[in-house]
Amino acid sequence: MEFDLNRLLRPHIATLKPYSSARDEYSGKEGIFLDANENPFGSITEDTFNRYPDPYQKDLKARIGEIKGVDSSRIFLGNGSDEAIDLLFRAFCRPGVDNVILLPPTYGMYEVSAGINDVATIKVPLTANFQLDIPAIQAAFTPHSKILFICSPNNPSGNKLNREDIRTLISSFEGLVVVDEAYIDFSDEPSFISELDRYPNLLVMQTFSKAWGLASLRLGMAYASVEIVAILNKIKPPYNVSGLTQSKVLEALQDLSSMHQMTANILSAREHLREGLLKLPSVHKIHPSHANFLLVNIDRPKETYDELVRHKIIVRDRSKVTLCEGCLRITVGTPAENHQLLEVLSQITP
Ligand SMILES: *Cc1c(COP(=O)(O)O)cnc(C)c1O
């Protein structure tokens, strides 16, 4: 399948003249900066928050590129993955004309972002064991289908999707395939980043919100061809990643071993939690997880959810979601938090 990025791109974006920021015109670090109407003093004296941050996050991208083995020119950084998702809609999907393909049950932001941008969604459910229904997905493609969102490991089911199936879809779709790897660091599955050279219509998303434990900083990554990254850079708000975020994430990236240790601890806590839950008579099934949460089929999910809330324990009620009937989604907490959850659940009488 020949991929034509120019056919995918909305024509007005192709001809758009982007905002040129003060920092675009002069990018040196030394000098007397009287170009951006900043306050030369600032309120927090030990830092440089009075200055606008690097709009292209060069230092951060250099470090991320080094760790992930990708050139900086193939990395887009956004205010969370959610920003990248929204920008993809704005770059490629004409409101009221184009559509995107979603594979429920999956991450809710794809549909919300589609709705905000007035873009139709075509939904093709996963199979009963949460895998890709290749023939049904391929049958759903229309000439106006611009983006196919695949989440692996998938939220809320927790499983990883068959790699060969993902490849089949990338090769057979004329639009852009987004592989959302928000949970990849909890999985033994290699990232699709290594396949970017093979597939010009692939975009891989990752985030600092989960395994890195930095959800509040709001930093999401998109990896794609130089051309696709250039389009996202062209339409993003100029200073979309704050200076605080850039410096704090750079700090976290100094120490990969802590992150790996933290991830290993969460995985071991997940297995303890799984064993504890399986001992409860109210728990019928726990779906296999390659992420930091468990999808748990349980008696009376809504009542159980409410009872947990009364004990100030908040989980996610997914029992009304396609293929997740009867299920709560439970994030793995600290060992103490997981223990408390099990205590409360064991006291709820059926
Ligand atoms: C949590 C999550 C994200 C992260 O979004 P951010 O905006 O980066 O915090 C992305 N995709 C999926 C599937 C998620 O579950």
3-state secondary structure of 294: strand
Pairing of strands 145-151, 99-102: parallel
* Nearest atom, ligand 1, residue 209 CA: 9
Euclidean distance between CA atoms 264 and 186, whole angstroms: 8
Pocket test for ligand 1, best of 103, 155, 161, 206 (most atoms within 8 A of CB): 155
pLDDT of residue 44: 85
**Contact residues of ligand 1, CB 6 A cut-off:** 80-82, 107, 151, 155, 180, 182, 207, 209-210, 215, 220
Which of 90, 102, 95, 85 lies closest to 207 in space, CA to CA? 85
Q: What Rg value do the Cα atoms of the chain yield, rounded?
A: 22
DSSP 312: T
**Cα–Cα distance, 3 to 1 (Å, whole number):** 6
Task: Please name each of the domains of the chain with its CATH number.
Answer: 5-254 (3.40.640.10), 257-347 (3.90.1150.10)
The rounded distance, in Å, linking the Cα atoms of 97 and 229 is 24
Tell me: cis bond preceding 153? Omega within 30 of 0 counts.
yes
pLDDT of residue 349: 66
Task: Please choose from 207, 289, 329 the residue to mutate so as to test ligand 1's pocket, defined by most ligand atoms within 8 A of CB.
Answer: 207
pLDDT of residue 1: 62
Q: Which helix (H) or strand (E) holds 262?
A: helix 256-278
Ligand 1 centroid distance, CA of 220 (Å)? 8
Mean pLDDT of each 10-residue bin along the chain, 350 residues long = 89 92 79 92 86 95 97 98 98 98 98 98 98 98 98 98 98 98 97 98 98 98 98 97 97 96 98 98 97 98 97 97 97 98 89
User: Which of 173, 181, 126, 184 lies closest to 147, judged by CA?
Assistant: 173
Residue 31 Cα to ligand 1 midpoint, Å, equals 39
pLDDT in tens, 162-212: 999 999 999 999 999 999 999 999 999 999 999 999 999 999 999 999 999
**SS3 of residue 11 by DSSP:** helix
Best of 85, 102, 109, 184 for a ligand 1 pocket test (most atoms within 8 Å of beta carbon): 109
